[in-house]
Structure 1
Amino acid sequence: MERQKEEQLQTSHTERLRQANAALQRAAAELPDEDGYRLRYHLMPPAGWMNDPNGLIVYKGEYHVFYQHNPYEPRHGPMYWGHAKSKDLMRWEHLPIALAPSEEYDSGDCRGYGCWSGSAVDDQGRLTLIYTGHVDGRTPEEVQCVASSSDGVTFEKSAHNPVVAAPPETGGFGFRDPKVWRHEGQWYMVVGYGKDGLGKALLYASPDLRQWTYAGVAAESDGTMGNMWECPDLFALGGGGEHVLIFSPMNMGDTKTMYLSGRFNYETGKLDVRYRERLEYGYDFYAPQTFEDERGRRILIGWMNIWGARMPEQERGWMGTFTLPRELTLAADGTLRMNPVEEAKSLRGAHHAFGMMTMGADTVVPLTGAYGDALEIMAIFRIADSATRSEFGLQLRCSEDGGQFTEVSYCWPEGKLRMDRSRSGAGELGCSELELAPLPGGRIVIHLYLDRSSVELFANHGMKTVTNRIYPDPASLGLRLFARKGEAVLESLDVWELSL
């Protein structure tokens, strides 16, 4: 009987996948040959819609990334799992769609259904996906499911689905985004949840990925961290029992991602939190997920968009992109550092170097020869000894008439780092702002990755990050330095042209 159910399930799933892959091929063929918003070195969908990264894993020596995907239109709708793989985290090969909504627990006759976010593990050689089946109006609305593959491309849904058929109690807000890992021979899973206005990460345990036991609340809000936690991710980092929990809190104002660090006790199932902070300070960063690679690095990838924003690329037949992969490290005080993975250096092409320069108050310095829409920029500034007040930084994607640009600035003595996109072009406006103390010697390190319609900023060696989408005119390619209200010193500036 179970075998018959498996065969019927797989036939339904296979047909849905065939239809979706055919539709995706047609949509990709219809995209314009030249699109100034398509990024040059970030992972994007071939066409259609992309959101949350799912199932990040190294499998049989290759990096795999799955993602929330609508192959039929560039808008959120019934969710499939898109799939890509890479040997170096930079150059991605798109594979056939991995999961399609096809069963009563993940499909329906409304728009709000699908194979929602989850994670991946290697279960004795089988690439296994754990995801949320979601159907609007169904009771329960969200359940946890499993699918697996022996070749890493073609996936079969388990006849045991849903493996977690309901949340542990009624009256909650959401029950989704399972993140699974293995510890001392046992599988563990955190699931995003909320109740009574408090976001929570629920903990489960299993011997075989099929039979799950609820183990309690690993961590929850103190009343100030959102009323539901999406995409929780709990992992060890830094040794000595230290763990980090990353999550995306709902209804927390400008804060869209947070992290908690401390010691996790497997016996009690509780994270003893010693530090908490906002994870990212840009507008366009959500639902990050991490994995550990074969070198022991903890690598994070996030969705480089945000719910509710204008998304100009939708008019061009696609929507969504992911951040550069970022390596996470934990400082002794419990704070996280995020920096681009070493492999990003392989993108570097022509190099432009600029030496020390003192900029007087209210000056703008165009950088001759350094321009483009895909650049890596490493600038080291120093607060001038004579400066009692100064603001300095860079302007990116500058138009020739000076009217269009994205500005990255540091204001002293307020200690504020800003990315202002009020003159960036189409799309959302607004200024991202955060507090940043100078490094010894009054230095401010601004490390930028610019890619057509995105800017990623890593400040002071990854102490703080800012990620934003911008949509300038294709001809806006200039780069300028500036100082206002006081002097500033540029110690060095390196600019690399980037390409795959």
Structure 2
Amino acid sequence: MNEKRIRRIPMKTWTTKQRYATYDTYSKKELDRLQKLQRDSKWHLAYHLQPKSGLMNDPNGFTYINGEWRLAYQNFPFGPVHGLKSWENLVSNDLQNWRYIGSGLQPHAPYSMQGVYSGSGLAQGERQFLMYTGNVRTEDGGRISTQLGAWVEPDGELHELSQPLISGQPNGYTAHFRDPQILERDGRYYAILGAQREDKRGTILVYSAERPEGPWQLDGPLDFGFDSLGYMIECPNLAFVDGSVVLIFCPQGLDQSVCAYDNIYPNMYIVADDIDWASRKLVNPGPLHNLDVGFDCYAAQVVNEPNDHAHLISWMGLPDTTYASDEEDWQGCYSLARELHVIGKRLKQLPMMDSLIGAQMPVANATIDLVSVLHFEWQIGVDETLVVGNSKEQLRLKFNDTGVTVDRSGVASSNADDFGKTRSVPLVAGKHSADLYLDRSCFELYVDDGAGVLSGRYFPEDATNWTLKQAADTQVAVTGHKTKSIF
């Protein structure tokens, strides 16, 4: 690779006052300017969800209702920073073709003055109930976390409850108390929340109620086989899949001896046979696994559907991390929606892409479009590196007996390089396959029908004349298809 790096535009330094300035501080002209920057970006994505402007982080309110999927993204519209958050709404009939349908929950007094944080949705007939965290910052820099509720009518009209569902954290816990997932099981409502004990240990709390509006009572911490996993747990989700229960969550500060991971914070999961709500205990939980072994995966949110079906979408980003698109005043995107299945105590994640796969394209001695999917097949025993790129920038894929490795060090702009420039999916003996979904500034690699997933961001300065390079006597068969754009 050409070692000369592109000179970066210095990033704006945001003060706390600027981050939490109310939206009416900004003009429509400024918002239009920011939205145009995102649309015109060379890193604008073709078929991955992205913000219209500013920052996109956690997926929220993921609900299957009235024959369609509703999703919101947490958004600070005015810059690539974690500022004053609101929700922006999307809808899809197939989890592939998404439409923006306007703004959702907005920050306001008295309970969400410094932001509408993460939450979930639940279908109740033709209405949707939202449960979410409101954030207030105190003058001394502290926080007040309040769990709030709202109804969404079939026509999209929003009715926020005037009183909190849960006014504050229970005794023995800090104000790091957020990200409720609301569930209905056997005629009762449950909510699980990420929390931090006063001794700085992360946990998941269970609440229950007879109605979505409450009153909600604290049942206690969830027993999922570990007393503590780091200093804070964020974004806990329960998925009910193929007769099993899957707990998906983000433990911050997790000891590497418990489960190895490469990113600043991991997104993990545990598969159990069932959950006993009376004792708040997962039944026969399996080991801890990485949800995605790639570079950029966090805050995955699940939608539970009828007949033990579930899908998830994750934020292809990480907290406390900067990205090359920050220089254009936008940041963030989402993974493809993934259909979940359980085999043993492991998840399989299948990308929802069938309607977006286009015509077959040549891959040998041909230009590779960065809006495409490449399919690989090989046998264990192969030791080969394939290069997708041009004379200046490349992604490298190494296939050998230990697994599949993606190396993004050859791209001019990546992110969080201090945490490593390679990631790997381990393999066992046999015949293998993988699908590499390329978009203009992100990729997702699904190995062996979703038994392993590796995703990440990359920011090529020059996306022209990319080709696939492999040995003349290659033992890795490759085919390719163009993919359709949804934007």
Give the TM-score normalised by the residue count of structure 1: 0.83
% identity of equivalent residues? 26
Match of 1:290 in 2: 302
Instruction: State the partner residue of 1:357.
Output: none
| Displacement after TM superposition at 1:146 (Å) | 0.4
Closer, same or farther in 2 for the Cα pair 1:186/1:212, shift >3 Å?
A: same
Higher-Rg member (1/2):
1
73-82 or 218-227, which moves further after superposition?
218-227
C-alpha contact 1:194 1:200 (8 A) present in aligned 2: yes
The size of the alignment, in residue pairs, is 447
Partner residue of 1:469 out of 453, 457, 462:
457
Q: How does 1:188-199 map to 2 (within 5 A)?
A: 188-195=190-197, 196-199=199-202
Secondary structure of the residue aligned to 2:475 is strand
Matched residue, 1:212? 216
> What secondary structure, in the 3-state scheme, does the structure 1 residue paired with 2:326 have?
helix
Matches for 1:359-378 after TM superposition, within 5 Å: 367-378=364-375
Q: Identify the range of structure 1 (211-220 vs 133-142) with the bigger mean alpha-carbon deviation.
A: 133-142
Name the residue aligned to 1:184: 186
Aligned to 1:129: 130
Q: How many Å apart are 1:20 and its aligned residue? A: 8.4
Q: CA deviation at 1:419?
A: 1.2
Cα distance change of structure 1 residues 167 and 483 upon mapping to structure 2, 3 Å threshold: farther
**Structure 1, gaps ≥5 residues long:** 1-15, 108-112, 355-366, 385-389
Show the counterpart of 2:6. none
Write out aligned runs for 1:301-380 (5 A): 301-331=313-343, 333-341=344-352, 344-352=353-361, 367-380=364-377
- Judged with a 3 Å threshold, the aligned counterparts in structure 2 of structure 1 residues 463 and 495 are, in CA distance, closer, same or farther, namely same
Summarize deviations over 1:59-118 as a string: whole Å, max 9, x none. 2222111011112223210110111111222222112210111122111xxxxx211000
Cα deviation for residue 277 of structure 1 reads 1.1
CA distance in 2, matches of 1:164, 1:246: 23
**Equivalent residue, structure 2, for 1:432:** 422
Query: Structure 1 residues 410 and 468 mapped into 2: Cα distance closer, same or farther (>3 Å)?
Result: same
Q: Distance in 2 between matches of 1:69 and 1:207?
A: 32
Relative to structure 1, the CA distance from residue 48 to residue 219 in structure 2 (aligned partners, 3 Å threshold; closer, same or farther) is: same
Once the 2 structures are TM-superposed, how far is the Cα of residue 22 of structure 1 from its aligned partner? 5.1
TM-fit CA distance, 1:234: 1.2
Structure 2 residue identity aligned to 1:257: N
Structure-2-length-normalised TM-score: 0.85
Counterparts in 2 of 1:484-495, with a 5 A limit? 489-490=475-476, 492-495=477-480
1:466/1:149 CA distance change after superposition, 3 Å: same
Give, in angstroms, the shift of residue 221 of structure 1. 7.2
1:84 pairs with 2:115? no
State how far apart, in whole Å, the 1-side matches of 2:25 and 2:175 are: 33
Post-superposition shift, 1:207? 1.1
Spell out, residue by residue over 1:31-64, the C-alpha distance to the aligned partner (whole angstroms, 9 max, x if none).
2663210100111111121100000112222211
For residues 439 and 115 of structure 2, the distance between their equivalents in structure 1, rounded to whole angstroms, comes to 31
Q: Which residue of 2 aligns with 1:498?
A: 483
Q: CA deviation at 1:235?
A: 2.5
Gaps of 5+ in 2: 1-21, 255-260
Query: For structure 1, which segment, 415-424 or 129-138, has the greater mean C-alpha deviation from structure 2 after superposition?
Result: 129-138
Q: Are 2:399 and 1:410 aligned? A: yes
Quote how far apart the aligned CAs of 1:476 are: 4.0
Task: Give the 4+ runs in structure 1 shifted more than 6 A.
Answer: 16-21
Alpha-carbon distance, 1:336 to partner = 0.7
2:210 and 2:28 mapped to 1: Cα distance?
A: 38
1:498 aligned partner, one-letter code: T
Paired residues of 1:126 and 1:152 also in contact (CA < 8 A): no
- Residue-by-residue CA offset, 1:185-233 (whole Å, 9 max, x unaligned): 1111100012234321111111112211111111357367322110000
Q: Within 1, Cα distance between the matches of 2:370 and 2:307? A: 32
Deviations for 1:287-316, whole angstroms, at most 9, x for unmatched residues? 000113467531110001112332121222
Give per-residue Cα distances to partners, 1:309-366, cap 9 Å, x unaligned: 32121222322111000011000x211111102xx12112220367xxxxxxxxxxxx
Q: CA RMSD in A?
A: 2.6
Question: Residues of 2 paired with 1:99 and 1:43: CA distance?
Answer: 19
Aligned-partner SS, 1:219: coil
